[in-house]
């Protein structure tokens, strides 16, 4: 029983790792052709020379959804962002967040290609080696004599971080519930916090 509980992967043939290029349709088809459920969790916080935010958040999901529909995949799950919006409120950026714009455009693209797709909109997720906690706890960000630059001292930013395991369970529940097809679900933690409160808590924990 101990070995079974600690096993990291499934039996031989249950888990296959298939490398693919998001721009290569043949490789995408190869990765999806035996699947009855496809979950797209591909995302990027910044652009690179190879991929723009539009490539990753809009064109990629559109291609995945179109090919999944063509292959007869039963369920398509698109993981987006809680604040995805066509016109996000400009705060630090005069034109608003391109990340949130492309996340929203990706939802629309998926729904156009796979009308019964389920959209999952999580807030900031925390877990092992996550980008939320480690972003603020990175030693380079907290190297300024226990000071950190935050918009309006973090006192006007509300966060509802959610455990990645809860989001995962929510995705599994959506897959198993046929009534979730074509719907959008927002996944947030049980409590709202000011960002300043969270930062103070993080610093108390790490002393």
pLDDT along the chain (207 residues), means of 10: 59 77 95 94 93 97 98 98 95 91 98 98 92 82 67 93 96 96 97 94 84
Task: Report the Cα 186 to chain-centroid distance in Å.
Answer: 12
Selection from 46, 196, 203, 41 nearest residue 118 by Cα? 41
CB 115, CB 67: distance < 8 Å: no
Nearest Cα to Cα of residue 123 among 198, 32, 15: 198
Q: What is the C-alpha separation between 205 and 201, in angstroms, rounded?
A: 6
- In this prediction, residue 6 carries a pLDDT of 60
Whole-prediction pTM: 0.88
pLDDT score, position 149: 78
> Which pLDDT score is estimated for 1?
47
């Amino acid at each position: 029983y101990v070995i079974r509980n600690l096993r990291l992967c499934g039996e031989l043939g249950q888990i296959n790792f298939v490398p693919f290029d998001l721009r290569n349709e043949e490789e995408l088809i190869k990765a999806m052709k035996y699947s009855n459920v496809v979950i797209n969790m591909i995302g990027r916080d910044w652009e690179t020379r190879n991929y723009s935010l539009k490539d990753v958040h809009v064109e990629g999901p559109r291609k995945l959804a179109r090919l999944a529909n063509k292959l007869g995949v039963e369920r398509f799950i698109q993981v987006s962002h809680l604040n995805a919006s066509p016109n996000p409120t400009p705060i630090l950026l005069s034109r608003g967040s391109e990340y949130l714009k492309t996340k929203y455009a990706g939802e629309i693209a998926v729904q156009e290609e796979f009308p019964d797709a389920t959209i999952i909109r999580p807030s900031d997720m925390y877990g092992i080696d996550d980008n939320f906690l480690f972003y603020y706890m990175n030693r380079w960000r907290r190297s300024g004599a226990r000071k950190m630059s935050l918009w309006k001292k973090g006192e006007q930013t509300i966060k509802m971080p959610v455990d990645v395991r809860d989001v995962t369970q929510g995705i599994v529940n959506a897959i198993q519930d046929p009534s979730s097809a074509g719907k959008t679900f927002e996944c947030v933690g049980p409590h709202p916090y000011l960002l300043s409160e969270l930062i103070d808590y993080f610093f108390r924990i790490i002393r």
